[in-house]
Structure 1
Amino acid sequence: MTTPATPTRPSVVRRFASPVIMLALMWAIQLADAVLPGSFTGFGLRSWDISGLGGVVLSPLLHASWAHLIANSLPFFVLGCLVAIEGAARFWLVTAIIAVVGGAGTWLLNAPGTLTVGASVLVFGYFGYVALRVLAPGRVAHRIGYAMIALVVIALYGTAMFLGVFGAAEGVSWQAHLFGAVGGGIAVFVGRSPGRRA
């Protein structure tokens, strides 16, 4: 007698492949920027410039310096993997929403001509997503699990995130930080069908 095969959950490697690939791409771009003539940062998001709207997609992958990239790498990896727990499709949807909302807000509120680059828009977006994920419809067990994760994330990154918006240093885009977090909050409720509560 045979029994139907039961579907298996994606392996840890498959779940976390997406943020790892994105982070590797950021490092590859920074390396290429260091050895090739010119600078890729010019492809970032330039506020109030229609031709610079492509930066909505490109600016999170670009960094002004190695120090800038290094500072973003660990929080991007940790928070990105927490989003990727829900699967690759969810990770890319959340990333796209954060990039669009964060990019649009930055493009509108930054001074005209301001160039913005860096993965911090995604870092703040992932933080907002993980912190608010507990509010999304779903089974009680999942909501409790995400509440515990959210508490740990807020404890680890909450102060830095607050200062990144309300105490950003000169030359740091608080707009990207704020609207990235807003995008993460919006992403919690987009493309999700209400689940049954246990």
Structure 2
Amino acid sequence: MSTSTVDTTVPEWSRKERARAAAKLMLGWVALLWLIEAVDYATGHALDPYGIKPRETDGLTGIPLAPFLHYGFDHVAANSLPLLVLGFLTALGGIRRFLTVCLLVIAADGLGVWLISPAHSLTVGASGLIYGLFGYLLVRGFVERKVLGVAVGIAVAAYYGGGMFLGLLPLNPIVSWQAHLCGLAAGVATALWYRRPVRA
């Protein structure tokens, strides 16, 4: 008696399809940030208070909301390009993984900001997520032992490293270095936790 098996596996996306999906996702994400800021502007900045308020119970609701809120269009503009580039590079590894990375970074970064930021401060902006994606890309290739990932990490470090590491220092009182530091740590930790086992 013979048996046969049917291959039910779904073929992987081609590189072009992955790139197209990643580009659409990030363009839509950045467009959403601009739309939210337009609504905030039109309502007299009514959305700003929904950021992270350190060590206040109602400030916990700002953890998932803060990365989508900004203090004006200049703030959105400053975050748009790095979020677009780093998000695109991360999403090339798979949309599901990208969304999981973002959720983990947003949660860990937001909790860190809630715990260590100065009292009576209010933190909004996507920079914590940007630092998380930066940290993730920085070490992902090394922990997965993939040449392309290592190359991406080196390129990201070379292009963004200087400005990113300056953002970790308390040089500007209106910039949340706490969000940057917690985001970077969250991104590195996510890469370490989310690494795939190496095949022999």
Q: One fold, TM greater than 0.5? A: yes
Question: Is 2:79 aligned against 1:72?
Answer: yes
Q: Distance in 2 between matches of 1:183 and 1:124?
A: 9
Preserved CA contact (<8 Å) 2:66 2:125? yes
Q: Report Cα offsets for 1:108-139 as digits up to 9, x if no partner.
A: 111122100000001100100000112223xx
What TM-score, normalized by structure 2, do the two folds share? 0.88
Deviation at 1:39, TM superposition (A): 1.9
Match of 2:53 among 42, 46, 49: 46
Q: Distance in 2 between matches of 1:22 and 1:187?
A: 21
Q: Report Cα offsets for 1:9-51 as digits up to 9, x if no partner.
A: 1612223333222211111000111112442111111111111
Q: Give unpaired runs (5+ residues) of structure 1.
A: none
Preserved CA contact (<8 Å) 1:18 1:91? no
Match of 1:108 among 115, 118, 128: 115
> Which residue in the other structure is 2:3 paired with?
none
Report the RMSD for the aligned CA atoms in angstroms: 1.9
Change (3 A) 1:152 1:38: closer
Preserved CA contact (<8 Å) 2:64 2:106? yes
Question: Is 2:160 aligned against 1:157?
Answer: yes
Q: Give unpaired runs (5+ residues) of structure 2.
A: 1-6
Give the number of the structure whose alpha-carbon radius of gyration is greater: 2
Deviation at 1:192, TM superposition (A): 4.1
Q: Report Cα offsets for 1:43-64 as digits up to 9, x if no partner.
A: 1111111111111100000001
Change (3 A) 1:159 1:144: same
Question: Is 2:189 aligned against 1:182?
Answer: no
| Partner AA of 1:188 in structure 2 | A
Preserved CA contact (<8 Å) 2:135 2:184? yes
Of 9-18 and 161-170, more deviation after overlay is shown by 9-18
Q: Distance in 2 between matches of 1:52 and 1:110?
A: 12
> Which residue in the other structure is 1:145 paired with?
148
Change (3 A) 1:17 1:40: same
Question: Is 2:73 aligned against 1:61?
Answer: no
